[in-house]
Copies of this chain bind each other. A is one copy, B any other.
Amino acid sequence: MRLFTGFLAALFLTGSAFAADEHASAPVTIVIHGGAGALAPGRYTPAEEDAYEAKLNEALDAGYAVLESGGTALDAIEAAIVLMEDSPLFNAGKGAVFTREGKNELDVSIMDGATLNAGAAAGVTNVKNPIRLARAVMENSEHVMFARDGAEKFAKEQGIETVKPKYFRTERRWKAYKEALKAEKEAAKQDKDAALPHDFKYGTVGAVALDANGNLAAGTSTGGMMMKRYGRVGDSPIIGAGTFADNKSCAVSSTGWGEFFIRLTIARDICAQVEYAGKTVEEAADDVIHHRLPDAGGDGGVIVLGPDGSYAMTFNTKGMFRGVKNADMQSVSIYGEAAAE
């Protein structure tokens, strides 16, 4: 029995070594999202659509260039996410939504599918690129997750670029915040809860990648839910909810109504269905996003990537900013049906 196991192990090791060989490298792929929400056609002007699509393509190109030159999946997702964090178009980094107290509080996480190492931070207010902080937590601390002032102290000690909190402010988000405050006041007069502008709940960014060595990685970065209070932590910094990656099943980045993604451990559940129920990444994403999530009352979407390059971009909202690039194709979309291959 031991001999037989050893034989299998030898086969596996041979397979791994072969997979790392450039003549038999994994089908390098990057998949990204920029948030799911009430994105029906007509929601944006053609010029706005062009701006979103250009930024998604830019992020895909940056991540794919890393993979194409033999770089790691971790470097690829960091490159793609940094570009989206720096863009005011998305609810992450610059352009984040405001909390009820009028602050930008950022949540982030990253995971390495090869080692199952992970890093995360919740509620940071002065780190220019939160995904870089998550990576430093993963690589330069013995911990996985830091919160608020503690996370900022760690960032400072690590020499990670910080900015004044006003850096994150955009007029578009500030106006939406002021309108939400006003709606809240009006609603309070009538003794009822204010309805938040639905699509400002969303806009998280994320990326998953497969590198030539067959390693998967996933990362997610967000400004969280607009008008959030009490140091609310959403799913984005939670390993297993917003982010998960394991070479033996899949890599996932989530976006949507975070509370449901935490309760349903969305990212881990998709990979668990691949790992234990033998589902494809598309089947697993369909079950979780089109059945379990709406059954619980939640909405949102995921990007999923398997070690064979199969992927899914699945959402139960009207749309999801999304894109994929591999050796054969490059595609970005905003509206419409979920895509998978």
Inter-subunit contact B230/A143 (CB<8 Å): yes
A186 to chain B, nearest CB (A): 20
Within 8 Å by CB of A262, from B142, B229, B239, B272, lies: B239
Chain B residues whose CB sits within 8 angstroms of the CB of A258 once the complex forms: 144
Chain B residues whose CB sits within 8 angstroms of the CB of A148 once the complex forms: 123, 147-149, 231
Residue of B nearest to A154 (CB): B230
Within 8 Å by CB of A238, from B238, B273, B296, lies: B238
Binding stretch for chain B, among A82-90, A114-122, A303-311: A114-122
Inter-subunit contact A272/B263 (CB<8 Å): no
A interface SS class: mixed
Inter-subunit contact A244/B265 (CB<8 Å): yes
C-alpha gap A268/B288 in the complex (Å)? 15
A31 to chain B, nearest CB (A): 21
C-alpha gap A115/B296 in the complex (Å)? 8
Number of copies: 2
Within 8 Å by CB of A146, from B118, B153, B232, B269, lies: B232
C-alpha gap A118/B111 in the complex (Å)? 24
Would you give the 0/1 interface string for A214-255, flagging 1 where the beta carbon is closer than 8 Å to chain B? 000000000000001111111000111100100000000000
Q: How large is the interface on A (under 10, 10 to 19, 20 to 34, 35 or more residues)?
A: 35 or more
Chain B residues whose CB sits within 8 angstroms of the CB of A116 once the complex forms: 263-264, 296
Within 8 Å by CB of A231, from B151, B264, B268, B276, lies: B151
A3 within 8 A of B: no
C-alpha gap A153/B228 in the complex (Å)? 13
A170 to chain B, nearest CB (A): 24
A277 within 8 A of B: yes
Having A153-B230, A239-B263, one finds 11 other A-B pairs with CB under 8 Å, namely A111-B263, A117-B263, A122-B233, A143-B228, A144-B258, A144-B259, A153-B231, A240-B240, A240-B265, A265-B265, A268-B272
> What are 29 A-B pairs with beta-carbon distances under 8 A?
A116-B263, A116-B264, A116-B296, A122-B122, A122-B147, A122-B233, A123-B148, A123-B150, A141-B230, A142-B259, A143-B230, A144-B258, A144-B262, A145-B232, A145-B234, A149-B231, A153-B231, A238-B239, A238-B240, A239-B241, A240-B265, A240-B268, A244-B265, A265-B268, A268-B269, A272-B275, A272-B276, A273-B276, A275-B276
